[in-house]
């Protein structure tokens, strides 16, 4: 809920988010400028900066700021909230109240103290009277009007321009792992071939040829990308086109009519005999990582959810596990010294945050291993953890110790779902246990009927034959 009279909200991920109206759309509705921060006060101050900037010049989108700065002969500034640049008429001073100056000083080095963030436009002497020009040139696209959201005045921009702007617009709306995935797909595949292409030049044949090249000759070994990756690239192009459509741009044909044929590879599941052997082996191993694997095959927890599970999430009194977080290794943006890092975030989706009843036998095992311990389940430490890659490596050794064929960790989740269906679970309950958004995901991806289940169901037909 927002604070009374303000568009500032406390997000589910713990951060604060605020927005301010910066203009009206032609067809109705409003353009917003967003600010994010760790505290309510931080967001309120950032919105104040946005308000102050609006009074003097243009609020520039992140994708445009470098182009304008280069044109103005300036270096990239340290940064303002939301990618804002303050434009003032050349030769004029910024007249701020004491409160405004105090707020602005936190985010802007003033012109007297470096001048990188306050951009005089045009430079002194370029325009008589020092007035702002009607249009500010942009190196990668059409001119933009000062005082307006640059994204709302993109003219006939190229696909590459809109791809960058869309990526900037979702930066704080998606998880870091999702952002990096979109960023890599855009930089590695979309921009190299489609960057300079205008939406009016994109037709069905051009797009299908592009997708075919990805499927046949792209990738590190030039042997083609998987259908899943090509489908993800097409999905990004669709999202970028919808973003462009908000500003009157986009392809002249329906992108949803172009599809990528995907051959669904069936995830292997453990047979009942294999599952029994694995569980016996894991129960006899005192390693906490084996305990985590045992929990996964009996509850359907994802790899990251097991790594992020803490003892305080397990209630032996109620016999429930509360899934509150997930752990994953993500790529780090723009940091040559650190390519990846381990992060602990909220679960994958709203449905993924769930409570799972613990079976009696598993509850007994957890009770015997707890002995007053706290911290992470896999280490018993408050700070030390086992990251997903390390648990996957340990799981491979667990399979070897039990004499079972090699499968990935995710097979435990599929095995759990299949066993539940064999035991007669209703799909709705199973979907909730797995944390799926809807039952179709459960049925289409996670339920693998075994030969035993097929035979059992086919035997039901014998009754009809006996009657006839």
Q: For residue 185, is pLDDT > 90?
A: yes
- Region 339-351 average pLDDT: 85
For 96-108, the pLDDT digits (tens) are 445 555 555 554 4
Q: In the numeric block, which tokens belong to residue 113?
A: 């103290």
Find tokens 């700070």 and name the residue.
383
For 31-78, the pLDDT digits (tens) are 677 777 778 877 877 777 666 555 444 434 333 444 444 444 444 443
Q: Which domains does the chain have, with CATH numbers?
A: 8-153 (no CATH), 159-257 (1.10.150.130), 272-455 (1.10.443.10)
Q: In the numeric block, which tokens belong to residue 95?
A: 């007249």
For 399-432, the pLDDT digits (tens) are 999 999 999 999 999 999 999 988 888 889 999 9
Q: In the numeric block, which tokens belong to residue 23?
A: 């203009």
Range of lowest pLDDT (298-302, 328-332, 347-351, 459-463): 459-463
Omega within 30 of 0 (cis) for the link into 122? yes
Maximum separation of any 2 CA atoms in the chain, in Å: 101
- pLDDT in the model for residue 14: 77
- Region 359-383 average pLDDT: 90
- pLDDT in the model for residue 22: 65
Cβ atoms 138, 149 nearer than 8 A? no
- pLDDT in the model for residue 103: 53
Candidate ranges 137-146, 222-231, 281-290, 425-434; pick with highest mean pLDDT: 281-290
Those residues with Cβ within 8 angstroms of residue 352's Cβ, 6 or more apart along the chain or in another chain: 302, 305, 323, 326, 435
Question: Is the entire prediction scored with pTM above 0.75?
Answer: no
Cβ atoms 106, 78 nearer than 8 A? no
pLDDT higher for 23 or 432? 432
H helices of 258-387, in order, are 272-284, 288-299, 303-308, 360-370
């Amino acid at each position: 809920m927002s604070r009374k009279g303000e568009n500032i909200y406390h997000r589910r991920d713990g951060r604060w988010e605020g927005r301010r109206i910066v203009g009206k759309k032609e067809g109705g509705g409003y353009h917003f400028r967003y600010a994010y921060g760790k505290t309510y006060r931080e967001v309120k101050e950032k919105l104040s900066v946005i308000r102050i900037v609006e009074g003097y010049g243009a609020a520039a989108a992140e994708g445009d700021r470098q182009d304008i700065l280069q044109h103005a002969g300036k270096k990239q500034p340290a940064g303002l909230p939301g990618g804002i640049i303050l434009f003032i008429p050349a030769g004029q001073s910024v007249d701020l109240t004491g409160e405004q100056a105090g707020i602005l000083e936190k985010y802007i080095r003033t012109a007297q103290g470096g001048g990188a963030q306050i951009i005089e436009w045009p430079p002194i002497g370029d325009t008589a009277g020092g007035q702002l020009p009607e249009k500010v040139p942009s190196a990668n696209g059409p001119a933009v009007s000062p005082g307006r959201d640059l994204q709302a005045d993109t003219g006939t921009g190229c696909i590459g321009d809109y791809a960058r702007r869309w990526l900037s617009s979702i930066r704080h709306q998606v998880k870091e792992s999702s952002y990096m995935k979109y960023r890599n797909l855009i930089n590695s595949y979309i921009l190299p071939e489609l960057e300079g292409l205008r939406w009016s030049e994109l037709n069905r044949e051009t797009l299908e040829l592009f997708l075919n090249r990805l499927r046949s000759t792209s990738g590190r070994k030039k042997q083609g990308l998987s259908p899943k990756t090509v489908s993800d690239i097409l999905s990004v192009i669709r999202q970028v086109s919808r973003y462009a459509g908000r500003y009157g741009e986009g392809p002249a044909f329906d992108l949803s009519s172009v599809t990528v044929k995907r051959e669904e590879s069936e995830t292997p599941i453990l047979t009942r005999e294999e599952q029994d052997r694995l569980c016996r082996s894991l129960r006899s191993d005192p390693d906490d990582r084996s305990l985590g694997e045992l929990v996964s095959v009996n509850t359907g927890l994802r790899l990251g959810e097991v790594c992020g599970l803490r003892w305080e999430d397990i209630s032996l009194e109620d016999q429930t596990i509360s899934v509150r977080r997930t752990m994953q290794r993500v790529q780090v943006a723009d940091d040559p010294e650190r390519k990846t890092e381990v992060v602990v975030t909220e679960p994958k989706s709203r449905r993924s945050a769930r409570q799972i009843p613990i079976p009696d036998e598993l509850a007994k095992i957890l009770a015997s291993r707890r002995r007053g311990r706290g911290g992470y389940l896999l280490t018993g430490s408050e700070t030390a953890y086992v990251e997903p890659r390390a648990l996957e490596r340990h799981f491979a050794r667990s399979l070897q110790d039990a004499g079972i064929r090699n499968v990935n960790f995710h097979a435990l989740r599929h095995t759990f779902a299949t066993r539940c269906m064999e035991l007669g679970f209703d799909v709705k309950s199973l979907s909730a246990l797995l944390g799926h958004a809807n039952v179709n995901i459960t049925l289409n991806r996670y339920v693998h009927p075994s030969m035993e289940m097929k035979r059992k169901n086919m035997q039901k037909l014998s009754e009809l034959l006996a009657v006839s």
